[in-house]
């Protein structure tokens, strides 16, 4: 068994524009000044309630809940209007198929919702490649290891047979706490040095680097 579990946004797909636009719409609807896009990108990887709490720590629970709902509404509206942009990073599809051909079992662990992840993977034509999908709907937010532990269980893999691949320190800490190898990618939301400090054994500069590292 060789199990590769991927984060989604920032690792498989580039959804930062849609995330930032939905967050700006949510804050504007509440009459609040939106955080900078740099701040929003730093929170990507956390589940939505935790991301909102990070962006607006002074707000009470009711205000944060309203922002969560407003963000979801904005995101759904963008999807319905055809404005949602979640393309695969160049080279990612080829990496996934190469790993599959090399005998890897593939999974996803993401702060996205079940519905959002299903739509994203299907829209990019890669849904059939994954045997386990873990989302914020059923688990605590990263870096809690629950998502990764469930992925191991569903795939029938031991921790030493798996790797977690992601673009944030949250992914690396989750991997460490689940006793899984952590591999970072340099095209997402956190700096490579942050990933190494959080436990990444390797940080791929390109998808091709990642494929070479895992199939060597």
Residue 9 designated active-site: yes
CB 158 within 8 A of CB 181: no
State residue 193 phi and psi, 5-degree precision: -65, -35
* Domains (range + CATH), the chain: 3-14+86-215 (3.40.50.1000), 16-80 (1.10.150)
The one catalytic residue among 7, 14, 167, 171:
7
Residue ranges in the chain modelled with pLDDT below 50: none
Residue 7 designated active-site: yes
Q: What is the mean pLDDT of the chain?
A: 96
- Could you give the CA distance from residue 193 to residue 200 in angstroms, rounded to a whole number? 9
CB 111 within 8 A of CB 142: yes
pTM above 0.75, yes or no: yes
Give the CA distances from residue 89 to residues 14, 133, 208, 214, in Å, rounded to whole numbers and listed in that order: 6, 19, 12, 18
Give residue-wise pLDDT tens across range 139-180.
999 999 999 999 999 999 999 999 999 999 999 999 999 999
> Quick one: pLDDT at residue 1?
84
The one catalytic residue among 9, 14, 167, 171:
9
> Quick one: pLDDT at residue 101?
96
> Quick one: pLDDT at residue 216?
85
């Amino acid at each position: 068994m060789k199990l590769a579990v991927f984060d989604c946004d920032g690792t498989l797909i580039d959804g930062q524009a849609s995330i930032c636009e939905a967050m700006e719409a949510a804050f504007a609807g509440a009459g609040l000044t939106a955080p900078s896009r740099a701040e929003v990108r730093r929170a990507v990887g956390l589940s939505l309630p935790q991301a909102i709490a990070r962006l607006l720590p002074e707000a009470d629970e009711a205000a944060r809940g309203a922002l969560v709902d407003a963000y979801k509404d904005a995101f759904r509206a963008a999807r319905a209007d055809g404005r949602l942009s979640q393309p695969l990073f160049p080279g990612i599809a080829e990496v996934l198929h190469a790993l599959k051909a090399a005998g890897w079992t593939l999974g996803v662990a993401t702060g996205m919702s079940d519905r959002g992840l299903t739509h994203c993977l299907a829209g990019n034509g890669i849904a059939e490649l994954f045997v386990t999908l873990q989302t914020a709907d059923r688990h605590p937010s990263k870096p809690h290891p629950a998502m990764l532990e469930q992925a191991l269980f569903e795939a029938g893999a031991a921790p030493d047979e798996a790797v977690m691949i992601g673009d944030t320190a949250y992914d690396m800490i989750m991997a460490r706490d689940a006793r899984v190898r952590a591999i970072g990618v340099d095209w997402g939301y956190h700096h490579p040095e942050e990933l190494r400090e959080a436990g990444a054994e390797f940080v791929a500069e390109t998808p091709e680097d990642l494929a070479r590292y895992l199939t060597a």
